[in-house]
Chain A
């Protein structure tokens, strides 16, 4: 694993052409899926709110996002007076490029043979696939921070400081829950992770089941917050910050932020499918494996759930957001990692398969016990912390009253 058979015989003209074709196709998939997703979301949210949504541009309004993009191309791109010029111009690209590139490690399904050259339906399959993913999501934070800071305006700066704290907090959860998948699979390569989830009765082998669902729930919450989507879209906060970090951007620079946001949504849905839902695995039709079809179906379902959540849930308050991230999700993901590790550990009491299956999983049961102890410790710590804050607050308040009198 971790190597594309395309490069087995070195680089020649045909390999180069196939390579360029693959790059172009992946690029177009991301770009077109963004155009589709913007409309998909607007339509779905509209119908969930018993409205029609955009229905004028193109057939049933499906060209609306293309029209919006074209309009933005013709708008004036100005630079604010207070802006740090170079950083201000660079920030949208800093956000766009990593997110568009992240899709390259997603396996779309199977292998194809073009002109005697077999290649995987996946742009690149490096051994560090998951690390690449975490890197791109980490780099996206820079785009947000620098865009807000370089604008030289108050709202964007506030928005970007919020965003950085939020993304940084949930990135830890993301890393810990992804580590659970890596632990179960024993590999960082995305194609290996998908291959490990295949088998008869496919969905039983999904990592969703293998890791006992909870890490998946934590991962989905974390990735929603990482993308700053509803209900964690405090970064946009149109009521109080009128748009957040991208407020001072116009024209094509604004379009890049929009594009990056939706490209991240599509890519992260694809990654959810890859990590937890077996990627392109699924039943064969007439003996042909139809990986790309299953992959598309699963991604569309995940995308719809994201839209559904946005249409349903109200926005979090900032302290609730940080409390959820730090005091609930991070400890829970760390504990779940250790519990899954315990159940994955091979039994010391002879691997002969005798006895109840739970009896062979004493390390897992020990981890569950430890989890309860640590959970109780944290529960108490949260309580003590709240009391400490209140005592400090009362002291400050008394001091201020004494100062006044």
Chain B
């Protein structure tokens, strides 16, 4: 047990150093809290909502799949230490285990369980409108079917006669205001 003593002493020393520095910082640093300083930082914008409570399920999936491999690693270490004594028996045993794990892993991959990131969206609806309107100045890139003669349709407020406007539901805000 005495072999563990140096590590324990180092932990104590690091803790003392860290605690001492923290105490020093508390004594030396100023304390002028303000509401703005203590608020959550969001690049200068006053936050209206708290941080997200839910996260994409893929993060949990990764954590679960990691457990499989972590447990495999746990099994591997004692085997690796004893490998030269076990020799071919050890090789066969671990090969059987590794192949089973590997096939299960390949099944996961073939299910798309480990695919990340934005997939190639094929024809999903973008949240912004094709044409510019008074509610939004953001236009999205048109889908291939929406191209008119191979080019993007002009926005509604472009000069008349340039190109035909897209056949889309009329935006009520784009209608001329009727004067009373």
CA A363 – CA B88 in complex, angstroms? 8
> Does B141 sit within 8 A of A, measured CB to CB?
no
How many angstroms from the CA of A152 to the CA of B42 in the assembled complex? 12
Do A252 and B109 form a contact, CB below 8 Å, given A182-B81, A377-B103? no
Q: How far is the CB of B39 from chain A (nearest CB, A)?
A: 6
Output the nearest chain A residue to B56 by Cβ-Cβ distance. A161
Contact of A175 among B76, B90, B109 (CB under 8 A): B76
B59 touching A161 by the CB < 8 A rule? Answer: yes
List chain B residues, Cβ under 8 A from A397. 121-124
Contact, CB under 8 Å: B66 / A172? yes
Q: Which residues of chain A from 209 to 254 have a CB within 8 Å of any chain B CB? A: 242, 247-248, 251-253
**A390 and B120: CB pair below 8 A?**
yes
B residues near A41, Cβ cutoff 8 Å:
none
Check A182 against B37 for contact (C-beta < 8 Å).
no
- Are B50's CB and A82's CB within 8 A? yes
The answer on a CB contact under 8 Å between A331 and B42 is: no
Considering only CB atoms, which chain B residue lies closest to A391 in the complex? B112
Distance between Cα atoms of A205 and B63 in the complex (Å)? 37
Is the beta-carbon distance between A80 and B39 smaller than 8 angstroms? Answer: yes
Partner pick for A389 among B5, B55, B63, B119, CB 8 A cutoff: B119
Which chain A residue has the least Cβ–Cβ distance from B74?
A: A175
B95 interfacial by beta-carbon distance below 8 Å: yes
CB of B136 within 8 Å of the partner chain: no
Question: In this complex, what residue of A is CB-closest to B109?
Answer: A381
B25 in contact with A78 (CB, 8 Å):
no
The 6 closest A-B pairs by CB, nearest first: A319-B117, A175-B73, A153-B40, A319-B116, A172-B69, A252-B25
B87 adjacent to A322 (CB under 8 Å): no
Residues of B within 8 A of A179 (CB): 73, 76-77, 80
Q: In this assembly, does B31 line the interface, its C-beta being within 8 Å of a C-beta of chain A?
A: yes
**Which A residues, 155 to 177, have Cβ-Cβ distances below 8 Å to chain B?**
155, 157-158, 161, 164-165, 168-169, 171-172, 175-176
Query: Apart from A7-B3, A20-B9, A175-B69, what 13 extra A-B contacts exist at CB < 8 Å?
Result: A24-B13, A26-B10, A101-B7, A153-B41, A175-B73, A186-B81, A186-B82, A242-B41, A256-B18, A326-B109, A337-B76, A338-B95, A385-B112
Chain B CB within 8 A of A104 CB: yes
CB atoms of B88 and A331 under 8 A apart: no
Q: B148 contacts the other chain (Cβ, under 8 Å)?
A: no
Residues of chain A whose beta carbon lies under 8 Å from any beta carbon of chain B: 2-4, 7, 11, 19-20, 22-24, 26-27, 72-82, 93, 96-97, 100-101, 104, 123-126, 130-132, 151-155, 157-158, 161, 164-165, 168-169, 171-172, 175-176, 179-180, 182-183, 186-188, 242, 247-248, 251-253, 255-256, 317-320, 322-323, 326-327, 330-331, 334-335, 337-338, 341-342, 344-346, 348, 363, 367, 370, 374, 377-378, 380-382, 384-386, 388-390, 392-394, 396-398, 400-401, 404
> In whole angstroms, how far apart are the Cα atoms of A344 and B47 in the complex?
59
Q: Which of A182, A248, A396 has the most CB of B within 10 A?
A: A182
- CB < 8 Å: which of B7, B70, B107, B118 contacts A172? B70
Contacts of B119 in A (CB 8 A): 389-390, 393
Q: Are B10 and A346 in contact (CB under 8 A)?
A: no
The answer to whether A169 and B66 have CB atoms under 8 Å apart is: yes
Asked if B128 is at the interface (CB within 8 A of a chain A CB), the reply is no
| Total residues of chain B contacting the partner, CB 8 A | 85
Quick check: B25 and A323 within 8 Å, CB to CB?
no
Q: Does B175 reach chain A (CB closer than 8 Å)?
A: no
Tell me the complex Cα distance, A317–B118, Å.
Answer: 11
In-complex Cβ contact of A73 among B24, B47, B105, B114 (8 A): B24
6 contacts between A and B (CB under 8 A): A76-B32, A78-B38, A124-B7, A251-B29, A382-B110, A401-B123
Q: Give the docked Cα–Cα distance between A73 and B25 (Å).
A: 5
Q: Is B135 an interface residue (CB 8 A)?
A: no
Determine whether the beta carbon of B88 is less than 8 Å from that of A154. Answer: no
Measured in the bound complex, the distance between the Cα atoms of B6 and A4 in whole Å is: 11
Contact among B6, B33, B55, B70 with A78 in the assembled complex (CB-CB below 8 Å): B33
User: Residue A4 contacts which of B3, B84, B120 (CB distance < 8 angstroms)?
Assistant: B3
Contact at A393–B109, with CB atoms within 8 Å?
no
| B114 engages A76 (CB within 8 Å) | no
B138 part of interface (Cβ distance < 8 Å) = no
Shortest Cβ gap from A197 to chain B (Å): 16
In the assembled complex, the CB of A8 is this many whole angstroms from the nearest CB of chain B, namely 10
Which residues of B1-26 are within 8 A (CB) of A? 2-7, 9-11, 13-15, 17-18, 21-22, 24-26
A165 touches B41 (CB 8 A): no
CB distance from A120 to the nearest CB of B (A): 10
Q: Do B10 and A23 have beta carbons less than 8 Å apart?
A: yes
Residues of B within 8 A of A377 (CB): 102-103, 106
Residues of B within 8 A of A401 (CB): 123, 125
Which of B38, B94, B116 contacts A79 (CB under 8 A)? B38
The docked-state distance in angstroms from the alpha carbon of A339 to that of B91 is 10
